[in-house]
Chain A
Amino acid sequence: GAVVSQHPSWVICKSGTSVKIECRSLDFQATTMFWYRQFPKQSLMLMATSNEGSKATYEQGVEKDKFLINHASLTLSTLTVTSAHPEDSSFYICSAPRAGGRTEAFFGQGTRLTVV
């Protein structure tokens, strides 16, 4: 079964509105979670690293004021796309590292965002 749950799986919103995506680790704690963006037929691009209890670390070129990340607890990270525009339409995926210091990750199911 899924160990990282992402919600919603798809969302359609109007331009200018904000959308929140949740990423939950099930049955384990994740002090770190990662947020990726994936364009059609392309690989995953790391957007930011979400850190429980501290500020997220954003990759170069990712606007932190547009993609707000909150890691409020050891099992929940949220990504809020603020003032969404059509070019923000994409597939967003979160992941959490496996326990025990391993680098392999569990991935959420992804969220298909469409901004109209």
Chain B
Amino acid sequence: TQLLEQSPQFLSIQEGENLTVYCNSSSVFSSLQWYRQEPGEGPVLLVTVVTGGEVKKLKRLTFQFGDARKDSSLHITAAQPGDTGLYLCAGASGANNLFFGTGTRLTVIP
């Protein structure tokens, strides 16, 4: 099993603040994906990063893949209540295998 540790596990911040979520592993992945999950629903894909050092932006969300393709970060600028949810990183290794991180539960307080 390839472990992906996310930190922090829980995060509660005020609307307008910035935050960073980290996803770390000792394994190398061919790609790394970030998902967001709302309560009672399945995860929804936010982004995929493939190249070491790659940075992708999705509005107020910035995703970075580590140079060695073992870690990733998600930075949210000016967080909004709509950003509340469970954020999951997932590393891809081999054909169709996804290994999910431990998850970060974000609460943005209005």
A residues engaging B (CB < 8 A)?
4, 6, 9, 32, 34, 36, 41-46, 49, 60, 91, 93, 95, 97, 103-105, 107-110, 112
Contacts and interface: CB of A to CB of B under 8 A. Distances in A.
A105 B45 contact: yes
Contact of A110 (B40, B88, B97, B103): B40
30 contacts: A4-B42, A6-B42, A9-B40, A34-B98, A41-B103, A42-B102, A43-B101, A43-B102, A44-B88, A44-B100, A45-B100, A46-B98, A46-B100, A91-B40, A93-B42, A93-B43, A95-B42, A95-B98, A103-B30, A103-B48, A103-B96, A103-B97, A103-B98, A104-B33, A104-B45, A104-B48, A109-B41, A109-B42, A110-B40, A110-B41
Closest 6 A-B residue pairs measured CB to CB?
A107-B42, A103-B92, A43-B103, A44-B100, A97-B96, A110-B42
Interface residues of B, number: 24
Nearest to A41: B105
A90 to B, nearest CB: 13
A45 B98 CA distance: 10
A93 B42 CA distance: 7
Interface in B65-95: 88, 92
B31 interface: yes
B44 interface: yes
Contacts, number: 56
Nearest to B35: A107
A52 to B, nearest CB: 13
Interface of B: 1, 6, 30-31, 33, 35, 40-45, 48, 88, 92, 96-103, 105
At the interface, is chain B mostly helix, strand, loop or mixed? strand
Given A4-B42, A103-B31, 18 more contacts: A36-B100, A42-B103, A43-B6, A43-B88, A43-B102, A43-B103, A44-B88, A46-B99, A60-B1, A91-B40, A93-B42, A93-B43, A95-B98, A103-B92, A104-B48, A107-B35, A107-B43, A108-B42
Contacts of A95: 42, 98
